[in-house]
Amino acid sequence: MRSPDAVSAQGPRGRFVRPQAPCRAATLVLALMMPLVGCGGGAPRAARPDDRVQLADIVRDFWGEQMRHAPTWATYLGDRSRDAELGRASSAEHERHLRTLANLAGRLEHVPRAGLTADERVSADMLAFLLRRDLDTAEKCQARLWAVDQLAGPQVTFAELPNVHTVTTAAQGRDLLARYQQMDEYFGDVIEGLREGLGRGLVAPKINVERVLRQIDEMLAVPVAKSPYLAPVFAALDAAGGGPAGLGEPFRAQLTAAVEQAVYGGLRAYRAFLANELLPRARASAKPGVGALPIGAACYAARIKGETGVSRTADEIFALGEAEVARIEKEMAALVQSAGGGSLPEYLKSIAARADQYAASPEALLEYNRELMTRAMRALPRAFGRLPKTVIEVKAIEDFRAKDAPAAYYYGAPQDASRPAFYYVNTHRPEIRLLYKMPALAFHEAVPGHHLQIALASENTALPVFQREMGHTAFVEGWALYAEGLADELGLYRTADEKLGQLSYEMWRAVRLVVDAGLHAKGWSREQAIDYLVAKTGHRREESENEIDRYIIWPGQALAYKVGELEIRALRRFAQDALGAQFDLRAFHDRLLAHGAIPLDVARREIEAWVAEVKGGR
């Protein structure tokens, strides 16, 4: 699971000590058909075998559909059975996929929850949420008809394939060749969808189209042999003494031809369409939000519900953001004054001008983040009973995406542990990366944030596989933002400036509520949103532009952070108030994370059950 974040989001950082092993079951079906006592789900309940078998069948079919629809994701997860498939982005495949999801949702509605164990009810409720979310947003937003995405579009995600589609056998090499040969067809599907959108008055914002055009131009300027599609593959084969039989010069010639013809050919066709047909009709920066589209209001409402899990209007989200901004601003100003720094705006400007706030080189920036990881990992046992075994390493964001990427993001490890998880750090222009903000960013993206939560879920084989690898955005991002504050409790911010950095990141997530609702529901311009973000957070303008352009193309996603964090903090306050001296922070965290990134209403039910168990002496 990749988590884009902070300015977001998939050298060695060191290893976690081996933790207590998670509860395990032999197979997915057994995991669904056995009471999972001791794996975070409470006492077993009376359950009916037929209902449980139905649920197991639906879960199996749901996951099979996810892998069929997104075979490159299967490879990312370590499932190499679909390596020869690239997938399709055609209208026929889109409609087939939605029909399948709708059928699964109908089947799930007829599974009585009373016939399931407590853990199975969590799985069923999470699956129901994911199905409703995907069907609702697909219907209301129709993103395939208009979204041109500089962060997760095929022009960048396909270039990542050699990172996960490793070639160590002749069969894997043939599969990669087959994938490359399908890429022009995939780009043709994308063009078909966007052209249909133009006919319906649905079109992307101009700034996102311009960013994607620049990305494609830079990619096509790279000689095929040095492209991210070939260079890492051939380098790995050379390092292995040429690789296995069958991957010699004929294979290399075939792979090179496929990249030149199908990959670069597909990129050229996509570029021509964007430049000649779409860009002239793209939405200007005066009103880049989804609200400018005919489907805008319905789409944004669906995105709010899907990303946050709460039924709030855009106006309510906007007001919540303004209230949080005002509260955090007071905390930041008080911290600066207590440190003798004068006014908050003046101090933010002065700290941004200090030479000691910037790494001298990309490698120095990476090394600083490795030290932050070491600092955090040493503190984890004080707050968690279960720790992940999965290794995490720091890695620089690749050159082909760095200019448009956030400051960092998390990239999870596959199920087969064939590679570690990565904390990706943007080392492009280190002279704009303020170091006092880096600790909060690292604690969000890695530990105790995304890596701890995502790796624990992925390692817990007692959970259905979809529950280990999928999740609710507000839980994932809410947890990571909560982790930034938890890091303060663990003493991980060593200076007043680092604490200010944590508050500035919390401010940034509050600002997101304002600018996201402003852009998509209140008609804000791109410049208005950038100016607000710069003024309230002290971010450099270039960073802020990248952020706002992300919010523009991903309506609603930025809301999940603050909404999720507020709910997790409310759950902790509830448990502390209810249990008093019986409250155990380690046990609270272990229970909260036991089922993966579940919807927040389901998380509340779980914590209420845990409180009752503790009170009852269980």
Give residues with Cβ within 8 angstroms of 433, minimum separation 6: 358, 359, 365, 407, 426, 427
Q: Who wins on pLDDT, 248 or 24? A: 248
**Lowest mean pLDDT: which of 20-24, 80-84, 377-381, 404-408?**
20-24
Distance (Å, rounded) from C-alpha 479 to C-alpha 50? 35
The pLDDT of residue 272 is above 70: yes
On whether the CB atoms of residues 310 and 563 are closer than 8 A, the answer is yes
pLDDT at 33 over 80: no
Average pLDDT of the residues in 88-112? 98
pLDDT digit string, tens, across residues 348-361: 989 999 999 999 99
CA distance 124 to 59: 8
Q: Is the pLDDT of residue 128 over 60?
A: yes
Could you tell me which of 556, 342, 589 has the C-alpha nearest to residue 485? 589
- Return the number of other C-beta atoms located less than 10 Å from residue 192's C-beta: 16
pLDDT tens for 378-397 read: 999 999 999 999 999 999 99
Report the mean per-residue pLDDT for the chain: 91
In the chain, the N- to C-terminal Cα span, in Å, equals 34
pLDDT higher than threshold 70 for residue 66: yes
Domain spans, the chain: 5-12+299-561, 154-292
Residue 611: the pLDDT is: 98
Task: Examine the pLDDT at 25 and tell me if it is beyond 70.
Answer: no
Q: What was the pLDDT predicted at 5?
A: 38
Residue 44: pLDDT over 90: no
pLDDT of 34 over the 70 cut: no
Concatenated DSSP letters of 182-238: THHHHHHHHHHHHHHHHHTT---BHHHHHHHHHHHHHHHTS-GGGSTTTHHHHHHHH
Note the pLDDT of residue 46.
57
Query: Range with the lowest mean pLDDT among 186-190, 532-536, 556-560, 579-583?
Result: 532-536
Q: Among 76-85, 149-158, 405-414, where is mean pLDDT lowest? A: 405-414
- Most confident range, picked from 23-27, 226-230, 345-349, 539-543: 226-230
Least confident of 22-26, 60-64, 459-463, 474-478: 22-26
- pLDDT for the residue 475: 98
